[in-house]
Amino acid sequence: MSFFMYEIDEIGPERVFEVYDQKTGMHGVAVVDNTARGLGKGGIRMVPDLTTSEVMGLARAMTWKNAMADIPFGGAKSGIKADPRALSPEQKEAVVRAFAKKLAEIMPKHYIAGPDMNMTEREMAYIADELQDPMVTTGKPTQMGGLPHELGSTGYGVALCTKVAVEFKGESLEGKTVAIEGYGNVGTFAHQFLEEWGAKVIAASDSKGTIYNPEGLKHAELMKTKQEQRTVTAHTGEKKEGKDLFELDVDILIPGARPDVITTGNVENVKAKYVAEAANLPAKYEIEQILMKKGVVVLPDFVANAGGVISSYCETMGWNADTMFKVVTDKVAANTKVMMERAQEDNDTRKAAMGIARERVEDAMGFRGWK
């Protein structure tokens, strides 16, 4: 069904806001997709090419992600159309505060924000301060009662999802080889926990390329290189191009940076038995299907990287980091297992996870009398 300039269906969206502030030049969009399971939850990004349709798609993705994570949040997303590189720190603060002020009528009554692209705990602090309410956003600094994603909840969840899937298949992580695309917050914590559980990371990449060492890359040592040299490629090992990482002979591949990195051009050369999607949309569904038909276990993004949003839920409850990691453990393990069980017949893990998420949303809509 068409509604003005965008599409709606039986799920949503419930609210679409486009806001503008003349003084700062701020132009922003917020979409609350579905609140059957709870308040709309999703991050705020700042990118120069933001569109309303993009934010709508991201809000719908959050509806499914939060439902699959089995937390009492609905789906939402927002964004500011601006190039952060062209803004001074003072200008960025002014723009963020202007955006928060424009959304005061829906935060946190209908929408709880969080960090996303080019938006960190600092910007979340500005938002909470501007609206004088700590509940309007998660991902705040610990000094403001927050559980910032810098604690590693997302990377931990990726590692745990992988571990549960491997063990579901009757195997062990011990000795499994791993390649990680993206060595930022998520990749580094995934490396740390996979190493603790016996896996061996033999390749990692960042924007400068890939470092490969079949003898293994120790987490502490690679972190030290990254911090001191600003790139993993300065570490001991063979330097390769970034794209080479996806075709390495490893047991587990973790695409954790850019979208659409596994394509028709390289999918047949993927040798990994498990692909854990730490990044959002690293492969289109039709590409995932090629992998799944080859017997590869694909751990979809909205299952594998749900640790961050589960952490956000814990922050709204006022829980500490120890409790947060316990909740992430319980939720990620249970949801990965139920997905793997449903996918046994055709190995289509994304279809299985989407089915579970939709059922959870529709059940909540039914209880509310919405359908």
Residue 230 token pair: 């600003």
DSSP 180-237: EE--SHHHHHHHHHHHHTT-EEEEEEETTEEEE-TT---HHHHHHHHHHHSSGGGSSS
Which residue from 324, 332, 335 is spatially nearest to 139, judged by alpha carbons? 324
Active site residue 77: yes
First to last CA, the chain: 17
CA–CA distance from 35 to each of 42, 81, 123 (Å)?
Answer: 12, 25, 25
Which residue from 125, 107, 106, 114 is spatially nearest to 311, judged by alpha carbons? 114
> Rounded to whole angstroms, how far apart are CA atoms 177 and 273?
10
φ and ψ of 87, to 5 deg: -110, 140
Active-site hit among 41, 65, 77, 200: 77
DSSP 247: G
Catalytic site positions: 77
